[in-house]
Amino acid sequence: MSDRVVALTDGPPIMLRRVRRDVARLAAWLAMQPGHNWVLASEHPYDFLVSLLAVWHAGKQVTVPASLQPGAVREATAQADGLLDGLGTWQSSTDTATDMDAVLRPFNAERSLLDLFTSGSSGAPKRIRKSAAQLEREIVVLESCWGGRREPVFATVPHHHIYGLLFRLLWPLASGRPFDTLMCTAPEFLLARLDAHGPGQVVSSPSQLNRMPDLIDLQVLQGKATRFYSSGGPLNPTAAGCFQRILGTAPVEIFGSTETGGVAWREQRDGDDSWTPLPGVQIARSAAGALVLCSPFIDDDAPYETNDAATLLDDGRFRIHGRLDRIVKIEEKRLSLSELEARLVEHPWVREAAAIVLSEGRQIVATVVALNDDGQLALEQLGRAALGKRLRTHLRQWFDAVLLPRRWRYPDVLPYNERGKLAADDLAAMFETTETQRE
The neighbour count for residue 147, using CB atoms within 10 Å, is: 16
The DSSP line for 327-375 is EEEETTEEEEHHHHHHHHHTSTTEEEEEEEEEESSSEEEEEEEEE-HHH
Strand partners, 130: 114
Residue 310 vs residues 231, 263, 274, 325: alpha-carbon distances, Å: 18, 13, 10, 13
C-alpha radius of gyration, the chain, whole number: 23
Q: Which of 270, 298, 289 is nearest to 336 (CA)?
A: 289
Distance CA 216, CA 117 (A): 34
- pLDDT given for residue 292 in this prediction: 96
Using an 8 Å Cβ cutoff, are 166 and 229 in contact? no
What pLDDT sits at residue 229? 98
Q: What is the pTM of this model?
A: 0.81
Give the whole-angstrom CA distance, residue 45 versus residue 156: 13
Dihedral, CA atoms, 106, 77, 160, 102, nearest 10 degrees?
-20
DSSP string of 139-182, one letter each residue: HHHHHHHH-S----EEESS-SSSHHHIIIIIIHHHHHT--EEEE
Dihedral sign computed on CA atoms, order 352, 289, 292, 423: positive
Residue pLDDT tens, the chain, 439 long: 578 999 999 999 999 999 999 999 999 999 999 989 999 999 999 999 999 999 999 999 999 998 888 888 888 899 899 999 987 655 544 444 444 444 677 899 999 999 998 754 444 578 899 999 999 999 999 999 999 888 999 999 999 999 999 999 999 999 999 999 999 989 999 999 999 998 999 999 988 998 899 899 999 999 999 999 999 888 988 899 999 999 999 999 999 989 999 999 999 988 899 999 999 999 999 998 999 999 999 977 789 999 898 999 999 999 998 788 787 878 767 788 988 998 899 999 999 999 999 987 678 999 999 999 999 999 999 999 999 999 999 998 888 888 999 999 999 999 887 767 788 888 888 998 654 444 4
Nearest to 341 by CA among 395, 300, 387, 390: 395
Cβ–Cβ < 8 Å for 253, 227 = no
DSSP annotation of 275: B
Cα–Cα nearest to 206, from 184, 179, 228, 182: 228
| Helical (H) or strand (E) element with 392 | helix 384-395
Output the CA angle 102-108-110, nearest 5 degrees.
160
Tell me how far apart the alpha carbons of residues 120 and 4 are, in angstroms, rounded to a whole number. Answer: 39
Measured N-to-C along each axis, helices 237-247 and 206-215 cross at an angle, to the nearest 10 degrees, of 60
